Structure 1
Amino acid sequence: MSSDAVISVHDVSKRFGGLMAVKNCSLSVERGSITGLIGPNGAGKSTLFNMVAGNFAPTSGKIIFDGQDITGLKPHQLFKLGMLRTFQIAHEFSNMTALENLMMVPGDQPGESLGTLWFRPSIARAREIEVKQKALDVIDFLKLGHVKDELAGNLSGGQKKLLELGRTMMVDAKVVLLDEVAAGVNKTLLNDLAANIERMNSELGYTFFVIEHDMDLIARLCDPVIVMAQGEVIAKGTMEELRANPMIVEAYFGGPVEAVQ
């Protein structure tokens, strides 16, 4: 494991009844990287990803995040530590505007306290102004200004994915877990989405851990790429290196090298 790994997975396994979905997996996500996780259906990648995200607790092994043991912690606990996840199907508040969706993200806002609203309203107002400005900055960064006052439920699939990405920027996440970000997104908006992920990584220093079936997107964004098969990590490298490895091609694609080109 690297000394600069922000996520370290140590000998993690997950059993569902008689099925061992993940077997003694170890991997790391380097701080400042965009790390991809790929594998065929049934490889265990979604199960492993869900354990890192706090949706499943490992049967054995441990997961370290930014130096802290987070094994078994829930998603809301990981949120407070700076690990956020986007979903294959966007989870927007449909009847709120895009701007309001972003403003909902930061926790422990003074305006949520009835006592503060009554007795110290200036504090609540000042924080609301601060949060709104942050949301406007995020909308500007993502080039969503033309839909900031549109109900989120009316946005396109790609715009909803951009909005989810924006949510992670509202709390300056240490790591963003991207779950099938390309699903349901047209090519034009997917290019915008990928460009924003690259900008967040290069300009703002965000670390991403990506699970994705779109190999072109993985090749564009991710270095390194981790490959799983039959519940185990079998390789790690650049997409170019993996495509050139006949053993990996056979394990992942069950076919000749041409299948991944």
Structure 2
Amino acid sequence: MLELDQLEMDFGGFRAVNGCTFRVEENSITGLIGPNGAGKTTLFNLIAGALTPTSGAIRFLGEDVTGLASHQLFHKGLVRTFQIPHEFHKLTALENLMMVPPSQPGESLFANWVAWSRVRSTERDVESKAYETLEFLELTHVAHERAGNLSGGQKKLLELGRTMMTDARLVLLDEPAAGVNRTLLRKLETKIEILNKERGYTFILIEHDMEMIEKLCDPVVCMAEGKVLIEGDFQAVRSDPQVLEAYLGETTGDAA
């Protein structure tokens, strides 16, 4: 589904992403781990179109999408969430979901005058889908609450819901566990698992919570200093000497 080929990103004389190459298979949940400063978020920004790589290629669904902007990738089914949720805090949870689907006829002033029945019909369909999404996320009780008043965990669930409103093919999740209490985190894990196994969503997940990575992700890709150190199942990655050194500053001999 997604192929990264020798991806590099330079900021002046600093290379934040250095020759990253790996594939993301359809219907997988790929974990992306590594110490702070490893280049994970920069890599996400490249994949999501927020940055243009210095060199290398990104292919999505067989198409070269290198350098395409975020809004272009959005229309192709590639979307992302953020470590700090980007909700519209003065809109309700329901309204945050309803504004996501693109090309709604109600966005046109002309259509509101001459095609109001189509505008209203589309709005009802979008509203119905938004309520179904809130029900799936177990957030119907906050449907009419301003999104800015939600808890950290509820905001993370709402961000996941916004990706559902787009019928996304590939979702980039940036540290979904950050700032979430354990109860809501377990709920978030369950929803991601259902979307993957039952609804065909593919995920790439940046996370420092190794319990979440172990539960959800296969394969796991570990980065350090802008490079991919190793890719494999969780147990293999966790026990690799390079990974131990990257996280703990140990040499192979020290670890032994």
Query: TM over 0.5: same fold?
Result: yes
Match of 2:143 among 145, 148, 153: 148
The whole-number CA distance in structure 2 between the counterparts of 1:99 and 1:114 is 22
Conserved? CA contact 1:40–1:253, under 8 Å: no
Matched, 1:212 2:204: no
Instruction: Please tell me whether residue 31 in structure 1 is matched to residue 58 in structure 2.
Output: no
Report the secondary structure of 1:162's partner residue. Answer: helix
Cα deviation 1:117-173 (Å, max 9, x = unaligned): 101110000000110111011111111111111111111000000000000001110
In the TM superposition, residue 251 of structure 1 has moved relative to its aligned partner by 3.0
Percentage identity across aligned positions? 58
Task: Indicate the SS of the match to 1:23.
Answer: strand
Deviation at 1:18, TM superposition (A): 0.8
Aligned partner (choices 159, 169, 173) of residue 154 of structure 2? 159
SS in 1 for 2:222: strand
CA contact (8 A) 1:11 1:25 kept: yes
Q: Does 1:20 align with 2:2?
A: no
The answer to whether the aligner puts 1:252 opposite 2:254 as a matched pair is: no
Cα RMSD (Å):
1.3
Displacement of 1:232 in angstroms is 1.1
| Greater CA drift, 44-53 or 175-184 | 44-53
Q: 2:5 aligns with which of 10, 14, 19?
A: 10
Provide the C-alpha distance between the structure 2 equivalents of 1:7 and 1:94, rounded to a whole number of angstroms.
32
Query: TM-score, with normalisation over the residues of structure 2?
Result: 0.95
Question: What amino acid is aligned across from residue 245 of structure 2 in structure 1?
Answer: E
Letter in 1 for 2:99: M
SS of equivalent residue, structure 2 residue 153:
helix
Count of residues paired in the alignment: 252
Equivalent positions of 1:1-261 (< 5 A) are: 6-255=1-250
Normalised by the length of structure 1, the TM-score is 0.93
Any stretches of 5+ residues in structure 1 without a counterpart? 1-5
Shift of 1:101: 0.7
CA contact (8 A) 1:56 1:72 kept: yes
8 Å CA contact 1:242, 1:249 repeated in 2: no
SS in structure 1 opposite 2:6?
strand
Structure 2: runs of 5 or more not aligned:
none
